[in-house]
């Protein structure tokens, strides 16, 4: 078991590698992670009710991340307010540009590993999401996200037109009140945790 996290143990914004390691270790060690995941599934399902977007970009969960796919599958089974078919996309990393592109995913879809060993849809069509769920290692005020440090989302978002609505998903233990953005950081439009909506741009 990792030692309990103490905000005073780290210097704000200057030791992000240690902060990432600590938060990931804590996430994996959460004894109630299943219960938190079920609560966050419900928060996400309720938040999506009435949303106008009919294409959502998600992610394949790794390292104890919240798995949004069950909630999205239930969302996909319905139709939007205009009767349009809904669609889920998963990211594929372009190793050369280190940007993400999104390909259609559905339950039972054939998968293969990408260049980083993360499962991705095999031979499905590319599609641009209208809403993008973004996994967070941690998060700060006003939609600031702490990721794994690869910068994939920060490089990708400016290249998408129109830019999708970005929604971070995280467990509440990852909130870092003193987290500040760096020059390349792209703030999220909303953040959801098992406790509800932690942040939403008005």
* pLDDT value at 89 more than 80: yes
Report the percent of the chain where pLDDT is more than 70: 90
pLDDT computed for residue 178 by the predictor: 92
pLDDT computed for residue 52 by the predictor: 92
Q: Higher pLDDT residue, 46 or 114?
A: 46
pLDDT computed for residue 119 by the predictor: 94
- For residues 171 and 39, give the distance between their C-alpha atoms in angstroms, rounded to a whole number: 10
Cβ contact 104:89 at 8 Å? yes
Cβ contact 176:27 at 8 Å? no
Tens digits of residue pLDDT in 164-190: 999 999 999 999 999 988 888 889 999
The vertex-121 CA angle with 79 and 156, nearest 5°, equals 85
Tens digits of residue pLDDT in 132-153: 999 999 999 999 999 999 899 9
What would the mean pLDDT of 81-104 be, rounded to a whole number? Answer: 87
With helix as H, strand as E and coil as C, how does 3-61 read? Answer: CCCCHHHCCCCCCHHHHHHHHHHHHHHCCCHHHHHHHHHHHHHHHHCCCCCCEEECCCC
- For residues 197 and 195, give the distance between their C-alpha atoms in angstroms, rounded to a whole number: 7
Distance of CA 56 to the CA centre of its chain: 11
pLDDT bracket for residue 2 (50, 70, 90) = very low
Tens digits of residue pLDDT in 36-80: 999 999 999 999 998 999 999 999 999 999 999 999 999 998 766
Predicted TM-score (pTM) of this structure: 0.90
């Amino acid at each position: 078991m990792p030692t309990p996290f103490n905000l005073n143990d780290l210097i704000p914004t200057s030791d992000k590698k240690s902060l990432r390691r600590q938060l990931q270790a804590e996430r994996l060690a959460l004894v109630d992670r299943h219960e938190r995941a079920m609560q966050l599934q419900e928060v996400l399902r309720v938040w999506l009710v009435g949303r106008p977007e009919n294409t959502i970009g998600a992610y394949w969960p790794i390292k104890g991340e919240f798995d949004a796919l069950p909630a999205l599958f239930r969302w996909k089974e319905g139709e939007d307010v205009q009767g349009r078919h809904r669609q889920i996309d998963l990211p594929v990393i372009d190793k050369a540009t280190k940007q993400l592109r999104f390909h259609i995913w559905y339950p039972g879809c054939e998968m293969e590993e990408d260049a980083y060993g993360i499962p991705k849809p095999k031979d499905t069509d590319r599609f641009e999401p209208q809403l993008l769920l973004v996994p967070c290692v941690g998060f700060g005020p006003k939609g600031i996200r702490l990721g794994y440090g690869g910068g994939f989302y920060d490089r990708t978002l400016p290249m998408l037109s129109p830019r999708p609505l970005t929604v971070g998903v995280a467990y509440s233990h990852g909130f870092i009140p003193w987290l500040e953005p760096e020059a390349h950081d792209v703030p999220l439009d909303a953040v959801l945790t098992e406790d509800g909506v932690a942040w939403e741009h008005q």
